[in-house]
Amino acid sequence: MTLDVFLTAFRGGEEVAVDRNALESALAHEGLGGGRTTVTTSDGGAAQLLVDDDGASFLVQTLTPELSQLIFEVAREARLVTLPADGTPNAYVVDRALVDELPHDLEASVVEAGSAFHEVLRASEEARGARTS
């Protein structure tokens, strides 16, 4: 099963271009470059990473705790909103202040730790699987 996870920015309820410097810096702290690259983690996590002015897309092939932690850290450092492509209006933020910037049709949840982030991504992966099966 796969899951696409998008990191993006909102301001005043509208999607806006991300701070590319902040995103590139957050990715660099995780040992990643921008553009298009393969992400692998020591626990078997795997994803394709695509970066542009709209944010970062992690096309997850294998979701693991380390991969979830990596995505969490990038979102935290770059102050981005996480939108899993699971057919739900869920939006995950690591900073409560970002909730006020979201459109009203998204259901925001504050996730404060990488382990909790892994659990919500696993639930998204399962929700997506239920919709595509």
Model pLDDT, residue 88: 85
Which single residue is written with the structure tokens 């450092």? 77
Query: pLDDT (tens digit, 9 = 90+) per residue, 4-48?
Result: 999 999 999 999 999 999 999 999 999 998 788 999 999 999 999
CA distance linking residue 16 with residue 25, whole number of Å: 19
Query: pLDDT (tens digit, 9 = 90+) per residue, 93-132?
Result: 998 999 999 999 999 999 999 999 999 999 888 876 644 3
- The torsion angles phi and psi of 38, rounded to 5 degrees, stand at -95, 135
Please state the pTM of the whole predicted model: 0.91
